[in-house]
Amino acid sequence: MAQLVECVPNFSEGRDKKVIDAISEAVSATPGCSLLDVDPGASTNRTVYTFVGSPEAVVQGALNAARQAFSLIDMSRHSGEHPRTGALDVCPFIPVQNVSMDDCVHCANMFGQKLAEMLHVPVYLYGEAARSEARRSLPSVRAGEYEALPDKLKQEKWAPDFGPAEFVPSWGATVTGARKFLIAYNVNLISTKEQAHRIALDIREQGRGKDQPGLLKKVQGMGWYLEESNIAQVSTNILDYEVTPLHAVYEEVCRDAENLNLPVVGSQIVGLIPLKALLDSANFYIQRDRLFVIEEEHKVRLVISKLGLDSLGKFNPRERIIEYMVRSQEDGHLVSLSLRQFVQSVGARIAAPGGGSVSAAIAALGAALGSMVGQMTYGKKQFENLDSVMRRLIPPFHQAMNELLHMVDADSSAFNSYMAALKMPKNTTEEIQRRETAMQEGLKNAVGVPLALAERISLLWPTLEEMVMYGNIGCKSDAQVAAKALETAVFGAYYNVTINLKDITDDRFRGAMQKRASELLQEAKDSTASILDAADKRK
C-alpha cells in the first residue's frame, strides 16, 4: 500500500484569483502530488490548499508552492479576519496512509530547513514537531501575529527553528509541523461578530483564560463576520475529532446560541474531512433520534442535513471527504476491479489473487445476501411486526460485508509479503538468517489473514439462523445460498491456513492455529446444517 501524507498549507491570499491559481499550479505540477482541494476565503483573505502524495513529493510540492507565493504575496499590505503570521502562514503534514506521525515530523523538519535555505525566512516548528512545549500550540507560536514579528524575532525565546532571526516584511514567518487531522469547522449565526466571539470563548478549550477554561477539549475558536455571506461565524479548529467530535461542537454552539436568542443557520467545513468524523456524528444522531440508517452514503447525507453543511454552498462528499478523494490512489486494489476483471485476474497465470482472496470474496457475498434478506423484509407492510427484529439483524451482515471485502486484498498482500521474503538475498550467514526470519513472519501473516476470515464469519452464524427463521419467506433460497457461501469461505480459509502451517517452524504456533482452524471449520459445518434444516421447515 502506497505511503500517503496530506499537506495543508494556508497562504495569506484569498481574494486575488491569479495568485490563488498560480500557487495551485505549482502544487499540481509537482510529480507525485495530487491537489485535492483549494478553499479561498475573501473575508479571511486566506486560501487553504490540500494535497496528498508520498512524503518526499509533498515536501517538494509545499516548497514549490512557497517559491511561487514568495514573488506574489506581500504581507506588508495584507489584512483579513484570520490570524496570520506570514505569507505561507502554516504548513502542517498529516499522516493518511501507511505513514507514522514520526514520518510527518521528518517531513516538517525537511520542509522547514529547505524553506529557510531557499527563501532566507524564519521558520518555526509546532505540533508534534515542536522542540519545546511552548511551541506545541499554533496560537502560541502565532501570538501577536505578523505585526509582532519585528520585536518577537529579537527575543531569544522566539528564535526561529530554521532560518535567520530577521524580519522579512514581504513574507513574515512560516510555521510548519505535524499533527493529526484538523477539522476547520465554522457554525453560522445571524448575529454580530461580538456575539459569535462570546460563544467561541465559552466553548474553546482555552476559554477566557486560565481561570475560565472552555467547555470543549481540543477545540480552538474565535468569532468573526463573513462579509461575503452576511453572517457571523463561530470559527473553530477541532484538533482531535475523536476527543471532541463534530456534532459536539455544533450542538454546544446551538445551546449557547439558544440562550442568547440567536438563530443558528447551518455550518461549514473548510477544506477536507475524514470519513470517520462524519460517520461518528451520523451514529450520534442515529442513536439519539432512534433512526435506522446503515448505508454509508445515507449516513453522510444525514450529517449534511443535521449540521446544515450545504448552507453556504453545496457539500459534495466526493470532493470533500479525504478517503473518497484519495481512492484514485488505490486503483490497483482487487476490490476496485469489476467482477469480470477480478475473475480474469484469478484465472491468470499468477499466484495471487488465489484461493484466499476468492474465499474472502465469497464470504462478502454471503454476508451481502444475509443483509439483502433483511432489507427485503424490513419496512414491508406484511412484515411490519418484524421491523424491530430486522433493525437488529441487518447491521451485523452489512458491517461484515464491508469488512470481508477488505480481506480480499489483505490475503493477496499477505502472500506477496511472503514471496518478497523468498527473494531476499542469502549470500551470507546474516542474510540467510534475516531471510528465514522474514519468511517465517510472512507465513504467520499468511495464516493469520484466512484465520481472521473464519473468525469473522463465526460471528454471523447465530444471526443468519435468526434471519432464516424470521426473514421474508420469498427470500428463503437467498438465505440458503448465504449459508453455503459462508461455509464455503470457511472451507477456503481452513485450506489456506493448513497449507501455510506446514512450513512454520514454531511448533506451539502451528498447533494452536491448526486447532482453532479445525474448530471453526466444524462450527461452520454444524451451523450450515442447522440453518438449512430451519429453512427447509419454513413453508
DSSP tally for the chain: helices H, then strands E? 18, 11
Q: Which of 44, 38, 36 is nearest to 13 (CA)?
A: 44
User: How would you label 33-64 residue by residue, b for 16+ Cβ within 10 Å and e otherwise?
Assistant: bbbbbbbbbebbbbbbbbbbbbbebbbbbbbb
Q: Quick one: average pLDDT of 298-313?
A: 96
Report pLDDT for 31.
93
The grid coordinates listed for 278 are 462524519
- Please give the pLDDT value at position 327: 65
User: In three state form, how does the secondary structure of 241-257 look?
Assistant: CCCCCHHHHHHHHHHHH
pLDDT band at 332 (very low <50, low <70, confident <90, very high): low
> If you average pLDDT over residues 524-531, what whole number do you get?
97
In angstroms, what is the C-alpha Rg of the chain?
28
Distance from C-alpha of 506 to C-alpha of 293, rounded to nearest angstrom: 46
Q: So what's the pLDDT on residue 328? A: 52
- For the record, the C-alpha cell of 487 comes out as 461455509
Cis amide linkage into residue 353, ω under 30° from 0: yes
d(CA 299, CA 289): 13
Quickly count: other Cβ atoms within 10 Å of residue 149's Cβ: 22
Residue 233 cell numbers, joined: 461565524
- How far apart CA 59 and CA 7 sit, in angstroms, is 8
Can you name the residues that pair with 221 across neighbouring β-strands? 236
Say what the pLDDT of residue 14 is.
Answer: 95
Residues, the chain: 539
Query: CA-CA distance, 284 to 290, in Å (whole number)?
Result: 10
Instruction: Give the separation between CA 486 and CA 40, rounded to whole angstroms.
Output: 50
* Pair 125, 176: CB distance under 8 Å: yes
Q: Can you tell me the mean pLDDT for 272-297?
A: 94
Name residue 202's amino acid.
D
What cell was used for 531? 440453518
Torsions phi, psi for 30 (to 5 deg): -80, 120
Measured distance CA(143)–CA(141) in Å, rounded: 6
- State the average pLDDT over residues 13-21: 96
Using the predicted structure, report yes or no on whether residue 1 has a pLDDT greater than 70.
Answer: no
The share of the chain scoring above pLDDT 90, in percent, equals 79
pLDDT at position 423 is: 85
Rounded to 5 degrees, φ, ψ at 206 are -65, -25
**What is the DSSP pairing of strand 88-97 with strand 123-127?**
unpaired
Give the separation between CA 499 and CA 491, rounded to whole angstroms: 12
Judge whether residue 105 has pLDDT over 80.
yes
> Alpha carbon 284 to chain centroid distance?
18
Instruction: Write down the residue that cell numbers 460563544 correspond to.
Output: 199
Q: Which residue has the cell 513574507?
A: 171
Residue (of 63, 159, 65) closest to 111 by Cα position: 63
Average pLDDT over all residues of the chain: 93
| Confidence band, pLDDT 50/70/90 cuts, at residue 344 | very high
List active site positions. 82, 411
Per-residue pLDDT at 437: 87
Q: Is the pLDDT of residue 101 over 60?
A: yes
Contact present, 110 and 61 (Cβ < 8 Å): no
- Confidence grade of residue 203 (pLDDT, cut at 50, 70, 90): very high
Angle at 374 between CA 368 and CA 378, to 5 degrees: 140
Helix (H, G, I), strand (E, B) or coil at 400: helix
**Residue 359 in this model has a pLDDT that exceeds 60:** yes
CB-based burial, 311-325: b 16+ in 10 Å, e otherwise: bbeebebeebbbebb
**Whole-number Cα distances in Å, 148 to 6, 84, 163:** 30, 11, 18
Give the pTM: 0.74
Are 59 and 114 a contacting pair, CB within 8 Å?
yes
H-run or E-run covering 493: helix 476-501
The dihedral over CA atoms of 474, 480, 482, 487, expressed in degrees to the nearest 10, equals: 170
pLDDT tens for each residue of 210-221: 889 999 999 999
**CB contact burial 161-192 (16+ within 10 A = b; e otherwise):** bbbeeebbeebbbbbbbbbbbbbbbbbbbebe
Determine how β-strand 219-226 pairs with β-strand 174-178.
Answer: unpaired
**Distance (Å, whole) CA 240 – CA 144:** 25
Which of 9, 29, 11 has its CA nearest to residue 20? 11
Instruction: Report the C-alpha gap between 359 and 414 in whole angstroms.
Output: 14
Residue of higher predicted confidence among 225 and 352: 225
Which whole-number Å values give the CA distances from 171 to 14, 22, 69, 175, in the listed order? 16, 17, 9, 12
CB 466 within 8 A of CB 482: no
CB atoms within 10 A of CB 428: 9
